[in-house]
C-alpha cells in the first residue's frame, strides 16, 4: 500500500503540542452524549501521544453550523463525556484559534488534553481556507489526523493543516487504512464484494469501480431489483429504477470484460405491504405478481451467497440485502452476515464492512464483533470503495 506517516515516525514529542483531528460528531440528547463509540475510538491515539510526553489539543466538528456560532452545536458538553471515557481531565476552550486558545494550551499540565470549539464555527473550515489553517497550525507542533470518517473532505482540519505542520495518521486512522488496504488495495483473492441498499443511482461510481477490482460482486436490496428488471424480470411494484436499465447493462458489460462474476438473487421474498410481519411468500424470479414487492432474497439466494463466501478469501460489504429493518425481511442479511462472520472468526476470510446501514445491519445480526474490521465512516468509506482519492489520506502520505 502507499506508505503514510504514523505517530511512531514523529520522533521525540516531549513538550510538543499535537493538534489531533478526531470525529466527535456524536449523537446528543438534552446536552448528553447518547453513544460514545466515536469518543472511545480516539482514546488509543490520545493516550499514545500523552505517554510520549505531548500535550493534546483536539480538533472536531459537530453538526452543520455553516460558519456561524450555534450554541446547540458547541462541543463543550463533549469535553466532560470524553474525560470519562479517557479517565483523565479534558479542558475546553471556546474557540479553535487565537491567542487565548494558545494560552489555554500553554497552561495545560504535561500530557494534558484540551478540546477546542467546533471548527465549523469558522466559515473557512469547510472551504479549506489556508489563512485559517495557518492560524490553527500556529497552535501546535504537529498534526495528527485520526478521523477517517472526515477524510473525504479537503477541510482545514482534515487536510490543509498538513500543508503547515508535519502530519501523521492517528492509531484509529492507521487501523482503518491497513484494513482497507487488505480489503481492496492488496487483498487475498478471490475477493467478493456484497453491495446492497435501495438505489443503484446512489452507487453507480461504486459499482463501476468494484467490477474492475473484485472477482465476484453480489448485489442485493432494492438495487438487485433494478438489475433484474434490466434483464427482463418482472419485479411487480418493487422499488426499482427502470430508467437505469442502460446503466446496469454498462456495468454488466464492464464486469464481463474484467472477469468479474455478478451474483443476483435466484429467488425472492415478496409481500403486498411494506411493513413488519406482512403476509409474504417465497417465489421464483419470474413469479412476482403485479401487486407484490420484493423485500428480501430467498433461501436459494442465501445458499448461493454462502457458496460464494466459501470460495472467497476476502469479502467487502456495503449495504443490506433486503428490508432488514422489518422482520422477517431481515433473513437474508442476517444469514449471510452470520456465515461471513463464521468464516472470518475461523481465519478463513478477511471480512471488512462499512457504511451506516451496514453497521446497523451487522449489529442487528449480532456478528459485528466477528468481522475482521468494521468502518464507521459513511461517506469516506463509500468514496474509498469508489476508488476516489481522499484528501485527508493523501495529506498523510510519506
Question: What residues are labeled active site?
Answer: 38, 199, 356, 379
Distance CA 318, CA 247 (A): 20
Q: Residue 303: which residues within 8 A CB-CB, separation 6 or more? A: none
Query: Which three cell numbers, joined as nine digits, stand for 132?
Result: 485559517
Q: CA-CA distance, 196 to 211, in Å (whole number)?
A: 15
Contact by Cβ (8 Å): 329, 269:
yes
Instruction: For residue 349, give the nearest of 317, 384, 303, 383 by alpha carbon.
Output: 317
User: How many angstroms separate the CA atoms of 122 and 362, rounded?
Assistant: 37
CA distance 161 to 348: 41
Amino acid at each position: 500500500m502507499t506508505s503514510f506517516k504514523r505517530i511512531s515516525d514523529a520522533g521525540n514529542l516531549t513538550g510538543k503540542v499535537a493538534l489531533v483531528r478526531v470525529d466527535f460528531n456524536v449523537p446528543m440528547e438534552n446536552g448528553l452524549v447518547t453513544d460514545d463509540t466515536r469518543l472511545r475510538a480516539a482514546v488509543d491515539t490520545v493516550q499514545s501521544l500523552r505517554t510520549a510526553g505531548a500535550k493534546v489539543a483536539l480538533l472536531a466538528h459537530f453538526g452543520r453550523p455553516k460558519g456561524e456560532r450555534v450554541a446547540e452545536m458547541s462541543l463543550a458538553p463533549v469535553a466532560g463525556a470524553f474525560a470519562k471515557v479517557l479517565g483523565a481531565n479534558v479542558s475546553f476552550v471556546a474557540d479553535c484559534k487565537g491567542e487565548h486558545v494558545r494560552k489555554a494550551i500553554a497552561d495545560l499540565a504535561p500530557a494534558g488534553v484540551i478540546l477546542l470549539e467546533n471548527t465549523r464555527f469558522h466559515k473557512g473550515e469547510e472551504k479549506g481556507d489556508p489563512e485559517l489553517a495557518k492560524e490553527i497550525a500556529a497552535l501546535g507542533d504537529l498534526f495528527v489526523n485520526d478521523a477517517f470518517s472526515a477524510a473525504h473532505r479537503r477541510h482545514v482540519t482534515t487536510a490543509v493543516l498538513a500543508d503547515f505542520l508535519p502530519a501523521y495518521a492517528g492509531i484509529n486512522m492507521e487501523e482503518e487504512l491497513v484494513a482497507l488496504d487488505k480489503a481492496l488495495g492488496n487483498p487475498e483473492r478471490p475477493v467478493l464484494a456484497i453491495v446492497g441498499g435501495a438505489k443503484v443511482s446512489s452507487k453507480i461510481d461504486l459499482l463501476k469501480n468494484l467490477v474492475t477490482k473484485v472477482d465476484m460482486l453480489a448485489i442485493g436490496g432494492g438495487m438487485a431489483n433494478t438489475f433484474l428488471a434490466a434483464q427482463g424480470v418482472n419485479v411487480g411494484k418493487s422499488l426499482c429504477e427502470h430508467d437505469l436499465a442502460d446503466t446496469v447493462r454498462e456495468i454488466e458489460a464492464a464486469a464481463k470484460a474484467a472477469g468479474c462474476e455478478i451474483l443476483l438473487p435466484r429467488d425472492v421474498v415478496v409481500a403486498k405491504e411494506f411493513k413488519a410481519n406482512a403476509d409474504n411468500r417465497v417465489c421464483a424470479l419470474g413469479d412476482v405478481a403485479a401487486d407484490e414487492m420484493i423485500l428480501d432474497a430467498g433461501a436459494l439466494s442465501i445458499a448461493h451467497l454462502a457458496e460464494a463466501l466459501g470460495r472467497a478469501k476476502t469479502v467487502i460489504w456495503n449495504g443490506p440485502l433486503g428490508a432488514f429493518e422489518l422482520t422477517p425481511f431481515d433473513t437474508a442479511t442476517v444469514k449471510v452476515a452470520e456465515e461471513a462472520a463464521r468464516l472470518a472468526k475461523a481465519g478463513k476470510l478477511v471480512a471488512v464492512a462499512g457504511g451506516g446501514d451496514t453497521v446497523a445491519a451487522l449489529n442487528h445480526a449480532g456478528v459485528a464483533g466477528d468481522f475482521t474490521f468494521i468502518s464507521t465512516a459513511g461517506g469516506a468509506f463509500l468514496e474509498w470503495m469508489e476508488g476516489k482519492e481522499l484528501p485527508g489520506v493523501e495529506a498523510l502520505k510519506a
